[in-house]
Structure 1
Amino acid sequence: MEKGPQNTQPQPTQQMILPPGGGNRNAKNLPVDSEGKRAWSFGLMDCFGDMNTCCLACWCPCLAHGRNRRRLDYLNQNGVPDPNRESVAGEDSVIYAIIEVACDMGWILQIGTRRNIRERYNIQGSGMSDCCAPFCCQACDLVQGSREIALEEESFFANKTSQA
């Protein structure tokens, strides 16, 4: 069986859609140092800039910590914001509450979360600063971390709006 010349073109295939690798991790375009590190987008004492999180962190730090942890873990695992990012309940909240009630040291869990936030966003700091911030002011640390995560989450929606 002899085949004639092929005059058909290949059909287009659907492009593979990869999940995004993250939003803008330096949404305020802060300058970076020679090591590629930058300052926090908000100061430790800028907690009144987000009154909802500030109140939550002051009155129920276990819920604020659990929410920060869940949002950060979701971003790290999925590359997109947690669809339930406003929800405050989570398993990390229970662990924090138990430690806080038992020995008033829930802030210890914030050390690892603060380090993870610094690493994700290439923020200047050290293990000592990761320890001192939550020890000196649990609420300030929780709000600062929440606001940093929120900047990246908001960048996803800003990019969607500008592309439409």
Structure 2
Amino acid sequence: MYPSSQPMPQHATGDSAHHFTTPSEWSTGLFDCDNDYYNCCLTCWCPCITFGQIAEVVDKGTTSCIAHGAIYSLLCLFTGGCQCIYACMQRSKLRQQYMLPEQPCNDCLTHCFCEMCAICQEYRELQYRGLDPSLGWDGNISRQNQGVVMPPINPGEMKR
């Protein structure tokens, strides 16, 4: 996250519900996990939590963090590795929303061989874009709406 003394990137302060219209690059590299030690440790010990948080935001709240995390965990437990296919689908959605390149290789290979690093990179990318995956979709919408102030309407002012 950005310290309060450091301004956030201009594109990160916009409405996260809008898709970017020009291609962009990933904000951090796949192996830049040391940029956020807390998230790196959480993802290494319990990737279902971080994955669920990311997936809820990427899906714009249509499915909860708990549901995404549970599906990820069940796939991990019962298939011994097929959760990377589920995770690569979410990475593809994230890339499409922000027009990110498929780097360093395609999404499925990235998740199959570097699962934890890919999840950490996706989390950092959402943070860079002005979203906090730990708040969930509704929490991010509420946070963004706090900055919008509507003028008060006084029905008695419009008299003839």
TM-score of the aligned structures, taking structure 1 as reference length: 0.62
Offset, 1:109 = 1.1
- Distance between the aligned counterparts of 1:23 and 1:92, measured in 2? 20
- Distance between the aligned counterparts of 2:130 and 2:124, measured in 1? 10
Could you tell me which runs of 5 or more consecutive residues in structure 1 were left unpaired when the two chains were aligned: 1-19, 27-34, 78-87
Whether contact under 8 Å (1:37, 1:123) holds in the other structure is: yes
- Distance between the aligned counterparts of 2:65 and 2:108, measured in 1? 24
Which residue of structure 2 aligns with residue 98 of structure 1?
A: 74
Could you tell me which runs of 5 or more consecutive residues in structure 2 were left unpaired when the two chains were aligned: 1-13, 133-139, 148-160
TM-score of the aligned structures, taking structure 2 as reference length: 0.64
Alignment root-mean-square deviation, CA:
3.2
1:30-64 C-alpha deviation (Å, 9 max, x unpaired): xxxxx942221110000121112111211111111
The letter for the 1-side match of 2:87 is Q
Q: Max radius of gyration: which structure?
A: 1
Whether contact under 8 Å (2:16, 2:131) holds in the other structure is: no
Alignment of 1:40-51 (within 5 A): 40-51=26-37
- Residues matched between the structures, number: 123
Which residue of structure 2 aligns with residue 112 of structure 1?
A: 89
Cα gap change, 1:102 to 1:48, in 2 (>3 Å): same
Which residue of structure 1 aligns with residue 11 of structure 2?
A: none
Decide which moves more: 88-97 or 114-123: 88-97
Which residue of structure 2 aligns with residue 31 of structure 1?
A: none
Residue aligned with 2:77, SS:
helix
